[in-house]
Structure formats: C-alpha cells, structure tokens
Amino acid sequence: MLSAALLITMVASLHLGMRVYTPAQVWAALSGGDTGTDALIIGTLRVPRTLIAVVSGAALGLSGLLMQAASRNPLAEPGLLGVNSGAALAAVIGITLLGVDSLSGLGATAGLGALLAITLVLGLTALGDVRADPTSILLVGVTLAALCGAMVQVILLSNETALETLLFWLAGSFADRDLGLIWIGLPVLLAGLLATLWLAPALDLLRTDDDSAAALGVPVARMRYSAFAVAALLAGGTVAMAGPVIFLGLVTPHIVRRLLPGTSHVWLALGCLLTGALIALVADILARIIVAPAEAPIGTVLAIVGVPVLIGQLRRGGGRRTA
C-alpha cells in the first residue's frame, strides 16, 4: 500500500506546482514529444526534485529509526549527532575559503563535513566511554553542534558575502537541485539500507536493556556505534543533496511504529524507507502550492507535522525510552 501511495505521489509531483500540467503534457515532456518550456520545467526541475525528495526522505526515515533504536530515545533525530552543524560549517568554509560557488560543489563539501562531524563525535565518545552509552554519544553530538554553530556565526560575521548563498542552502530544499546530486545520495541510501537490515536483529534485542542484550550475545558497544555511524552516513548523504531537512528523521519512525507496532526492525526499516519518501514528497508538493506563486520552505511544512509529534511525545514522557 505504501509503495502504491509513493508511486502515485511521484506521478502527482510531476503534475502539480505553480503551473499544473495534464498527463498528456507530462508524457510528451518525458517521451521527447515536447521540447518547449513545459518540457524544460518538467524534465530539468520537477523530475530532479521529485527523485531527490524520494531519496532524501527515505534516507532520513532510516536515519531516524537507527538513531531512536540505538539510543532508546524516541526524541532522537539526526541533527543531534552534529551532522547538520558539521555540514553547515563545512559549507561556510567551502564558500569563504575554498571558493565553492556551485550548488553541487556546496553539497559535496557539506556531505564531507557531516561525515567528519560524526567521526569526531564517535571518536571522542569512544575515548571517554567504551560502553557506548547513548546519552554520552548524544551529549557529545549536541556539544559539537553548538561549537560548529558558533563557528559558523563567527565566520559569517566576518564575511557577509557568503551569507546569502549559505542561507539558501541552510533552508533545506528539494528545489533547484542538480540531478547529478542523486548519485551522491542513492549509493548512500542503498548502503545504509543494507547496513540497517544487517543491524536489525541486534536492534530488536536492544529494545530491552544493554545487559539483557549482552547476555544474548549482542556486542552492544559495537552495534550501537555502527548504528549511529550508519544513521550519520544517511543524514550526511541527504545534507549533500538537499541541505539540512528538519523533523523528517524524528516523525517518520513514530508513524511507522504506529502502523507496525511490535514489528521487527527489518520491517520497520522498509516501512521507514517508504514512509519517509512519501512524507518528503507530500511536503514538497505542499510547499509548492500553499503559498503559490511563491514557495514555502520545506522545513516549515515539515515542522507543521513535526512539532505536534514532538509535543505529543513529551506529554507522554516519550523522552525516556522507545516503545
């Protein structure tokens, strides 16, 4: 059912926006029967943003699932690992010091910054806590995020020419992205999915507590570090394509757990893959039409969904552990 809904939404994404196209117009553009303005809009704008939204949403859905499962904290999301802040710092350095001026180059630079950030987080945690306590990992991540954020502010204050470019990227969007960026995100998504399926049995056992999981033969520290690393890799791939996209990694696992309560992480992973892609695409379509002819920031649309979920979890005491 989710697969069918995603396919229908992908088709709708090609038709809907500031300008609405008929199925005949879309088919003509995709088949080469039309080479005019409509074909240009559909082929070079809507197809790339549709594919990037699908891959980004799927990756963030998986990333959020891994974060929440490894930390047993339903409020955990990729930004807590310092991924977004590390990417932002790398992007600022790329603009101001390395002369990066293309969106593709900025995306690649940001993706590298995200990976360096998670490497630093896990490395620092391992030095002080060999048990890989999830609270320690998240605290190091939040601290690094604050440090990177402060450095971004300092650099921008001394170089205002980078501000406009960075603000556009920091807003997070699937629009105006080069289709070539998909070749950054897609391999990361496939590798992340395979890694998640491999980690799934251990994540099922981690639902209880560390001692019980260890008694059943799970190498708790190694599995937890692996889960956080894969989560950061998935988030980093998304950052490289679309910039920081908030709330998607938080909301998607909660929706899937409600649809599939008590299910193995194998099925939860597949559910998050499809649900994340679907939510991202629906949010992108809404961003195009709710304030037309302008376009709403994708983060704003996702926040409309994400904030109520976050408040609901806090009211239920959800910050203590996952179900």
Instruction: Please give the full DSSP string across 239-266, using - where no structure is assigned.
Output: HHHHS---SHHHHHHHHHHHHSTT--HH
* Range 120-130 average pLDDT: 77
The tens digit of pLDDT for each residue in 31-78 reads 876 667 878 888 888 999 999 999 999 999 999 999 899 888 887 888
| pLDDT of res. 130 | 56
What CA–CA distance (Å, rounded) separates 242 from 254? 23
End-to-end CA distance of the chain: 24
Q: Give the residue among 237, 247, 297, 231 at the shortest CA–CA distance from 110.
A: 237
The pTM of this model reads 0.86
Other beta carbons within 10 angstroms of residue 191's beta carbon come to 14
Q: How many helical (H) and strand (E) elements, i.e. helices and strands, does the chain have?
A: 14, 0
Q: Give the residue among 247, 239, 253, 243 at the shortest CA–CA distance from 70.
A: 253
* Range 86-106 average pLDDT: 79
| pLDDT of res. 131 | 62
Q: Which domains does the chain have, with CATH numbers?
A: 2-315 (1.10.3470.10)
Distances (CA, A) of 30 to 25, 38, 317: 9, 10, 49
Task: For residue 304, give both structure tokens.
Answer: 């409309």
CB-based contact 34:261 (threshold 8 Å): no
Q: Give the residue among 307, 258, 233 at the shortest CA–CA distance from 60.
A: 233
Q: Which residues of 228-242 are buried (b: 16+ CB within 10 A; e: fewer)?
A: bbbbbbbbbbbbbbb
The tens digit of pLDDT for each residue in 179-233 reads 888 888 899 899 999 999 999 998 888 887 777 878 877 788 788 888 888 988 8
The tens digit of pLDDT for each residue in 283-317 reads 999 888 887 777 888 878 888 876 776 676 667 65
Q: Which residues contact 321 (CB under 8 A, 6 or more apart)?
A: 72, 73, 74
